[in-house]
Structure 1
Amino acid sequence: PPGYIAALPAPVGSPGESQVSFFPNADAAQEQGYRPCKRCRPEETSSEDTDTQLVRLAHAYLASGHPEPVALEQVSAQTGVTPTRLRKAFNNVTSLSFSQFADARRLDQLKTRLQKGQDVTSALYDSGYSSTIRLYEKAPAQLGMTPNTYRKGGQNVEITYAVIDWSLGQILVAATDKGVCAVRLGDDAATLESDLKE
């Protein structure tokens, strides 16, 4: 058989992008010869509503690595539903449009690459931005500073932050005079503050 059907996220680890196929549901995968994984038992985890399953499937596809911006139509083709249906699922589950979700994911990838020391130009293209102009237009509001300053860990930039209790633990929000530069979720303030300083 071609492979196994796994629940998202798979407990066995993440396979490489070339080893992953996406289907709208387990039945569609089984029609192609895939078998349910005996460890994560995806057929038993189908109690989630369809919208949540679609968003998880789309998120897994987006997370599999795409250096260029991914269109809604491309993701909907991978999930086996129409663009309109996928757009509604994103709105119902995340309260975000697909494009807002994809933008946030792209920004997250950019931040990670910059924090690892990748040069700004490579990081922006590898994260799916189409031009430096688009990034620099949005950078102050989205990063709280220029991309190069963010890459250097915000050196010589005054960053203020607050840690707030909320239903899932604690949330740290940090900002400069230009915009929000970090939002972190965690269980204790000391760890969140330490992560921010790194």
Structure 2
Amino acid sequence: MHHYETIAEAIKYINDHYTEQPSLDDIAAAVHLSPFHFQRLFKEWAGVSPKKFLQYISLQHAKTLLEKNYTLEDATFETGLSGTSRLHDMFVNMEAMTPGEYKNGGENLHIKCTFTITQFGMVFLAATDKGVCNIQFTESFENSLAELRAQWPKAQITVGESPILKTVKQFFTERNETVKDLRLHVKATPFQLKVWEALLKIPCGQVSTYGKIAESIQHPKASRAVGTAVGDNPIAYLIPCHRVIRSTGILGGYHWGKERKTAILGWEAAKVIGEKAAI
């Protein structure tokens, strides 16, 4: 399954033993592979060697990105990114549900759900007729389905495909520029919408901080509230909350696991810098 489980295990080992500066042999042994096999598998997944990948997930690399003084307002087509690394907001459109659409447990909602395998593990997908309403990394489709039904107890939820879900699957399995516009249909407060729209403006391979996002939405003192809204993001990866880190350069937490956040940021850095890495 794209070797993600092995890569995540390797990243966890590296994070746990960072002060010891583990060698390739050490990391390979930790995931029960020969150094040669591990090196080949890792490069197949990331497009770069483990040594190069470590540079992209280092504290110094994160600090360098933050020191560039990137602002969300600067996010345009002219960022210099390659075709597969264009900004999410160029093809993602977000619409908030109306109160009538989610009142009484979603009795007027028709939701279809499915799953797909991505570069970063299994993803649970759900969409209304208007757009994607839930994407989450998961270890169990059944558990994610149960959570969705608990969230929308009166909605009509069925397992199956829809044109919208097929488009999302296409995003995860094909080159990004071949994908048509993606539509999101989310339950959100006006403040959450502003935060999530700001997240959509963070280019692939870049990072931002809670403070910078607060400033960009004209709420400079609302860093804590921004953090809460980032944590409440219901659309994993497409709304890139993984690109928000602490002002110190430390990656911080992630709803779907620190190793996964590290893996995504390192993989995106490799892609943007020009190394070959395809979903």
Q: TM-score, normalised by structure 1?
A: 0.37
How does the TM-score come out when normalised to structure 2? 0.28
Higher RCO, 1 or 2 (CA under 8 Å, sep at least 6)? 2
